[in-house]
């Protein structure tokens, strides 16, 4: 509360100017003397009746009205008008600042009218902030205009609280620090179904969430920690899918090479039937179980994904060169490995003998059923178990395909 500011005392005012008007006389008789003048005048003060005010001020019959100075505009000040007294004051829309009348826009602001500014406590000395100054108060931006701070109205973070108390005991210094702080915690925010509020709390286990794509990673991602932001995360046992919803593992989609497949969907890749299970692609051969009878072997025919059973030694020669596979027990000395799938070539290829007119007069053409190794994995490395307890490494060629090629050895007529 500010007291009544000094009002410029009015200088002595001269008595109101006076003059007297006499009533006019009527002439009733010619014998009477001549009438006196109709008007009589008395000299009065010819100077202005108004007081002389300082430069920039004007005379007012109620010079004690509010606001009188720039300090009267401050929010923490309370201007108490006194009884009306004539005197000098500033013109309407202007107030005193250091003895001069200025417009409200030129008034400074009080440092104590804006609590919550950085590095300010309640015990600081009041300072005048020049007009136009921009300050940060709490989480808003304030500018000094017309003796008061105009601030934005942005919402502050939930973990911030400021308290301003009025001074007591005549403004004497309080015991203890001028600023006190303690941890505060707002209620958890509401989250969608299947999610919970995550916050970073020192000393507590971090709350993590994983997406469907991160389900099988060794280290959890998206965990809270030092400096982590608060927010909603999936509840324990749920994973965030590509649509942003928290779902169980069985509802997670599968994604491979940029192709996304819905949970539970099935499709065919080559000779395999695949499906999406718990966010993983599971593929297996779509061929039925095949058990060949004695004397038959599994044969993979061209254009077919599934092998068929064929006689190992048919009555008629095999008309083509084909690739066969069978399960064998491989031995080398006292070392052995059972149930090894071995591929080999078998079949009949073109062979003929032509007559020519030059020596040797006969020309033999012979093609044999030969092989081609797998270009990516030409061999397999196997380990045979020996009676001594040791292992014996062996190399097993992997035949990729079979075809008829020219037999090695050249012309059979020279054999």
Whole-angstrom Cα Rg for the chain: 55
Is the pLDDT at 107 greater than 60? The verdict is yes
Confidence of residue 81 (pLDDT cuts 50, 70, 90): confident
Half-sphere exposure of 243 (CA within 13 A, CB side): 9
Using CA atoms, how far residue 158 sits from 138, 179, 227, in Å, is 12, 19, 16
pLDDT tens-place string over residues 20-78: 444 444 444 444 445 556 766 666 655 556 678 888 888 888 888 888 889 989 888 88
Residues 395, 400, 404, 409: what is their CA dihedral angle, to the nearest 10 degrees?
-20
Per the domain annotation, does 21 fall within a domain?
no
Confidence of residue 159 (pLDDT cuts 50, 70, 90): low
Are residues 349 and 321 part of one domain? Answer: yes
Per the domain annotation, does 260 fall within a domain?
yes
Per the domain annotation, does 336 fall within a domain?
yes
Are residues 268 and 316 part of one domain? Answer: no
Return the bridge partners of 380, or none.
396
Are residues 307 and 397 part of one domain? Answer: yes
Identify the pLDDT of residue 197: 86
Identify the pLDDT of residue 241: 92
Confidence of residue 161 (pLDDT cuts 50, 70, 90): low
pLDDT mean across residues, the chain: 77
Are residues 352 and 261 part of one domain? Answer: no
Per the domain annotation, does 14 fall within a domain?
no
Confidence of residue 409 (pLDDT cuts 50, 70, 90): very low
**Residue 301's CATH number:** 2.10.90.10
Are residues 322 and 272 part of one domain? Answer: no
pLDDT tens-place string over residues 184-212: 677 888 899 999 888 766 666 666 778 89
Are residues 325 and 278 part of one domain? Answer: no
Are residues 300 and 271 part of one domain? Answer: no
Domain that holds residue 278: 256-285
Are residues 395 and 367 part of one domain? Answer: yes
Per the domain annotation, does 365 fall within a domain?
yes
Last residue in a domain, options 246, 264, 285 = 285
Are residues 301 and 261 part of one domain? Answer: no
Q: Which of 120-124, 271-275, 345-349, 368-372 has the lowest mean pLDDT?
A: 120-124
E strand segments, 237-360? 239-240, 246-247, 254-256, 259-261, 266-269, 272-277, 280-285, 296-299, 308-311, 322-332, 335-346, 351-355
Pick 354 or 411 by higher pLDDT: 354
Per the domain annotation, does 87 fall within a domain?
no
Is the pLDDT at 225 greater than 70? The verdict is no
Count: domains in the chain: 2
pLDDT tens-place string over residues 261-297: 999 999 988 888 899 999 999 998 878 888 888 768 8
Strands 109-110 and 362-373, by their bridges, are unpaired
H helix or E strand, kind and range, residue 367:
strand 362-373
Per the domain annotation, does 150 fall within a domain?
no
Please calculate the CA angle 390-395-400 and round it to the nearest 5 degrees: 150
Are residues 300 and 281 part of one domain? Answer: no
Are residues 320 and 268 part of one domain? Answer: no
Are residues 266 and 326 part of one domain? Answer: no
pLDDT (average), residues 104-122: 73
pLDDT (average), residues 218-226: 56
Identify the pLDDT of residue 211: 87
Per the domain annotation, does 322 fall within a domain?
yes
């Amino acid at each position: 509360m500010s007291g009544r500011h000094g009002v410029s005392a009015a200088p002595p005012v001269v008595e109101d100017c006076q003059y007297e008007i006499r009533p006019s006389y009527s002439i009733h008789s010619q014998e009477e003397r001549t009438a006196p003048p109709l008007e009589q005048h008395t000299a009065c003060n010819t100077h202005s009746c108004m007081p002389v005010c300082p430069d920039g001020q004007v005379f007012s019959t109620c010079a004690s009205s509010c606001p009188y100075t720039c300090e009267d505009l401050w929010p923490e000040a309370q201007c108490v008008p006194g009884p009306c007294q004539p005197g000098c004051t500033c013109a309407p829309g202007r107030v005193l600042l250091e003895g001069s009348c200025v417009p409200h826009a030129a008034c400074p602001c009080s440092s104590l009218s804006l609590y919550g500014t950085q590095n300010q406590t309640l015990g600081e000395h009041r300072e005048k902030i020049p007009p136009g100054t921009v300050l940060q108060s709490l989480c808003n931006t304030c500018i000094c205009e017309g003796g008061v701070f105009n601030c934005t109205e942005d919402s502050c973070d939930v973990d911030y609280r400021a308290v301003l108390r009025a001074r007591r005991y005549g403004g004497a210094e309080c015991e203890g620090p001028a600023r006190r702080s303690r941890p505060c915690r707002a209620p958890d925010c509401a989250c969608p179904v299947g999610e919970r509020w995550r916050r970073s709390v020192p000393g507590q286990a971090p709350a993590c969430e994983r997406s469907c794509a991160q389900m099988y990673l060794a280290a959890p991602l998206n965990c809270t920690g030092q400096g982590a932001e608060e927010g909603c995360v999936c509840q324990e046992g749920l994973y965030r899918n590509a649509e942003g919803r928290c779902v169980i593992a069985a509802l997670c989609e599968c994604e491979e090479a940029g192709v996304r497949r819905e949970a539970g969907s099935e499709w065919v890749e080559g000779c395999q039937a695949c499906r999406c299970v718990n966010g993983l692609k599971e593929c297996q051969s779509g061929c039925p179980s095949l058990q060949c009878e004695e004397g038959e072997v599994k044969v993979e025919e061209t254009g077919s994904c599934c092998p068929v059973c064929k006689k190992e030694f048919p009555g008629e020669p095999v008309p083509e060169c084909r690739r066969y596979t069978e399960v064998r027990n491989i031995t080398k000395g006292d070392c052995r490995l059972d149930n090894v799938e071995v591929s080999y070539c078998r079949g009949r290829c073109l062979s003929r003998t032509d007559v020519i007119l030059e020596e040797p007069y006969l020309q033999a053409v012979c093609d044999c059923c030969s092989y081609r190794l797998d270009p990516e994995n030409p061999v397999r490395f196997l380990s045979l178990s020996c009676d001594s307890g040791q292992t014996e490494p062996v190399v097993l060629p992997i035949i990729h395909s079979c075809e008829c090629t020219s037999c090695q050895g050249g012309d059979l007529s020279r054999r």
